[in-house]
Amino acid sequence: MPSWFAQFAMNRPDKDGLIHLGDEDVLKFLLGLRDAKVPSWQRLQAARSLEWFQTLVLRSNTVDFLSYKIKLHELAEKERSAPEVWRLRLRRFFAWR
């Protein structure tokens, strides 16, 4: 089980003991990760993990993950190309040498 899914599932079993996905739950989870300062690329992995669970385990398509994945991909690209990121990468590179 992917670790992002485990984090999502920890507090979400229903009365029947099953885990159900809904748009509201997914959005709340992803916003919680954002508020915890989790980078966009990791939030994208979390969304993919939930999509995997929905497709392979629940065998449903209740939540449309496309819009989440597109937005998170865009944010991840912006974060990756930000000048601060490159400065940190250069600092780490030269510290390693």
Question: Is 74:45 a contact under the CB 8 Å cutoff?
Answer: no
Provide the pLDDT for residue 97.
54
> How confident is the model at residue 95, as a pLDDT?
75
Structure confidence at residue 74 (pLDDT): 93
The domain in which residue 33 lies consists of 3-96
The structural domain count of the chain equals: 1
pLDDT at residue 85, rounded to an integer: 66
pLDDT tens digits along 8-60: 877 666 666 677 788 998 999 999 999 998 999 999 999 999 999 899 988 98
Whether 93 contacts 61, CB under 8 Å:
no
The pLDDT tens digits of the residues spanning 61-94 come to 899 999 999 999 999 988 887 767 666 666 777 7
**Bridge partners (DSSP) listed for residue 13:** 19
Report the candidate in 71, 63, 67, 65 with the shortest Cα–Cα distance to residue 23: 63
Q: How far apart are CA 81 and CA 64, in angstroms?
A: 28
Which carries the bigger pLDDT value, residue 95 or residue 21? 21
pLDDT for position 13: 61
DSSP-based three-state secondary structure for 19: strand
Query: Which amino acid, one-letter code, is at 31?
Result: L
Contact status, residue 58 vs residue 21, Cβ threshold 8 Å: yes
What per-residue confidence (pLDDT) applies to 1? 42
Instruction: Quote the DSSP letter at residue 54.
Output: I
